[in-house]
Amino acid sequence: MHQDVTTRYMGLPLRSPILVGACPLTLKPEMAREVAIAGAGAAVMPSLMEEQVSRWFARRKGDASNRCPNPEAELCKSENVYNGGVESCLKTIPRLKRQCGIPIIASLNGGHDGDWLSIAGDLEAAGVDAIELIINANTYDPDCTAEQAERPLLDAVRRVTQMVSIPVAVKLLPFYSTLPNLAARLREAGAKGIVLFGREPIWEISDGDLVPALHWHLSSPGLLQTTLSGLIRVRGSDPSLSIAASGGIATTLDVVHAVVGGADVTMVTSELYRSGPDVIAHLVEGLSGYLHRNGFNSYCDLIASRQTQATDQDRQAKMETMLAPPETEEAGEAVDGNSPHGDRWGHLTTPTP
Ligand SMILES: Cc1cc2nc3c(=O)[nH]c(=O)nc-3n(C[C@H](O)[C@H](O)[C@H](O)COP(=O)(O)O)c2cc1C
């Protein structure tokens, strides 16, 4: 018995809510075809970078001064290895569309609003169905306020949404303290959807030289907790915005939890690298089975049944949870609440007056 798992994301009709998140795998013809056959709803291309796009425009205008400067030459080469380069991406889009028959979403990653974003028009002309924007300003400047840091993102959304008629989503990092408000302003600026969350390379300190350095790994399923916290906060404040969950989706239950938390669709990246394209079929079939076992006729029924309550009780819920002993997987622990130091969490059975 196959339940109906079709849905919509930013108005785009999708055959399933399991999308392939932005990564270079979506440009590999064989992989793109396999994930489409496996039932993926859509695929997001690897990001084109602001620097790469700016140089490409400059070269097109014949501006030799904007060739890749020597110290950056290696980086320029890597960019093109990463995503094939701007020209190649534009040429690949019609072929991807023909081969896969599912919506293809382009991704733009930069730090500024500016002319480089006019590439969105070229991507639309090449046939992409939507655009995902990642605009992160430098946040190391102590003089830069949160509002100043967010301005380029909002300006970029206005610029791109005025330029193209396809839907535009914004992929956010999980560090915004006023996420529901930012989501509302992004919507006002023209965004049709948001992706919660993107990831960046992370800082790690090696035991050897104790020097912080950036590293890039596949994400772990534990990341879903961060994703859920964003979904619940934004969905609680906006029942109709298109939201994609990205981060830590690896199993059918992860998909269900993300949807119940507020996602309309889920994006899978690291698990695709770990398990290959079969993971898409597992998730689509797993979701259909879950719907069947739990009495839902369709995926839309599951979405309609979720409770997206406002989070004004958030603080109280947090306090109640923190004041209880932490939940633990360890079985059979003896807990002596009568000891003068309390139980092993330091909780006293008899509160001190
Ligand atoms: C190898 C790799 C390449 C990625 N490339 C991009 C990219 O080009 N643009 C982007 O926005 N996100 C990129 N991501 C981030 C993913 O799209 C996704 O947001 C993130 O990994 C969290 O989802 P996951 O837990 O399913 O991996 C990449 C992730 C991986 C693992």
CATH number of the domain within which 166 lies: 3.20.20.70
113 and 39 housed in the same domain: yes
Spatial CA neighbour of 105 closest among 47, 156, 53, 43: 43
pLDDT number for residue 141: 87
Bridge-partner residues for 267, per DSSP? 19, 246
Ligand 1 midpoint to CA 238 (Å): 25
Residue 132 backbone phi and psi in degrees, to 5: -110, 130
320 and 302 housed in the same domain: no
Within-domain flag for 2: no
Residue ID of nearest Cα to ligand 1 atom 2: 23
Ligand 1 midpoint to CA 318 (Å): 30
pLDDT number for residue 7: 98
75 and 210 housed in the same domain: yes
**155 contacts 190 by C-beta, under 8 angstroms:** no
Bridge-partner residues for 43, per DSSP? 20, 104
State how far the alpha carbon of 8 is from the alpha carbons of 14, 152, 263, 341, in Å.
6, 29, 11, 55
94 and 158 housed in the same domain: yes
333 and 247 housed in the same domain: no
Ligand 1 midpoint to CA 328 (Å): 31
pLDDT number for residue 29: 85
What is the three-class DSSP state of 204? strand
Bridge-partner residues for 212, per DSSP? 205
90 and 106 housed in the same domain: yes
351 and 276 housed in the same domain: no
End-to-end CA distance of the chain: 61
Q: What is residue 223's DSSP assignment?
A: G
151 and 57 housed in the same domain: yes
Residue 134 backbone phi and psi in degrees, to 5: -125, 110
pLDDT tens for residues 333-344?
A: 555 556 666 666
pLDDT number for residue 66: 64
CB neighbours of 45 closer than 8 A, spacing ≥ 6?
Answer: 22, 26, 27, 83, 89, 93, 96, 104, 105, 106, 107, 128
Within-domain flag for 181: yes
* Ligand 1 pocket by Cβ (under 6 Å): 21-23, 46-47, 107, 109, 134, 171, 198-199, 218-219, 223, 246-249, 268-271, 273
What is the three-class DSSP state of 171? strand
State how far the alpha carbon of 294 is from the alpha carbons of 17, 110, 288, 297, 302, in Å.
18, 43, 10, 9, 9
Pairing of strands 212-215, 202-205: antiparallel
State how far the alpha carbon of 141 is from the alpha carbons of 40, 49, 244, in Å.
41, 22, 30
pLDDT tens for residues 57-80?
A: 998 888 766 666 665 676 777 777
Q: Please give the distance of CA 11 from its chain centroid, rounded to a whole number.
A: 18
What pTM does this model have?
0.92
Residue ID of nearest Cα to ligand 1 atom 19: 198
98 and 25 housed in the same domain: yes
87 and 236 housed in the same domain: yes
Ligand 1 midpoint to CA 220 (Å): 12
Ligand 1 midpoint to CA 8 (Å): 22
Query: What atom in ligand 1 is closest to the CA of residue 272?
Result: 26
* CA–CA dist 197, 266 (Å, integer): 11
Ligand 1 midpoint to CA 218 (Å): 8
Within-domain flag for 159: yes
Query: What atom in ligand 1 is closest to the CA of residue 198?
Result: 19
pLDDT number for residue 312: 57
Ligand 1 midpoint to CA 325 (Å): 35
Query: What atom in ligand 1 is closest to the CA of residue 44?
Result: 17
Q: Which amino acid is residue 124, in one-letter code? A: E
Query: What atom in ligand 1 is closest to the CA of residue 267?
Result: 26
Best substitution site from 251, 270, 272 to test ligand 1's pocket, by max atoms within 8 Å of Cβ?
270
Q: Which amino acid is residue 154, in one-letter code? A: L
Give me 124's structure tokens: 């639309």
Please list the ranges in the chain whose pLDDT falls under 50.
none
132 and 116 housed in the same domain: yes
Query: What atom in ligand 1 is closest to the CA of residue 218?
Result: 31
pLDDT number for residue 221: 82
Residue ID of nearest Cα to ligand 1 atom 3: 23
224 and 341 housed in the same domain: no
Ligand 1 midpoint to CA 9 (Å): 19
Ligand 1 midpoint to CA 217 (Å): 10
Within-domain flag for 1: no
* CA–CA dist 180, 195 (Å, integer): 13
What is the span of the domain harbouring residue 252?
7-312
Within-domain flag for 145: yes
Residue ID of nearest Cα to ligand 1 atom 5: 23
What is the three-class DSSP state of 1? coil
Ligand 1 midpoint to CA 261 (Å): 21
Domain count, the chain: 2
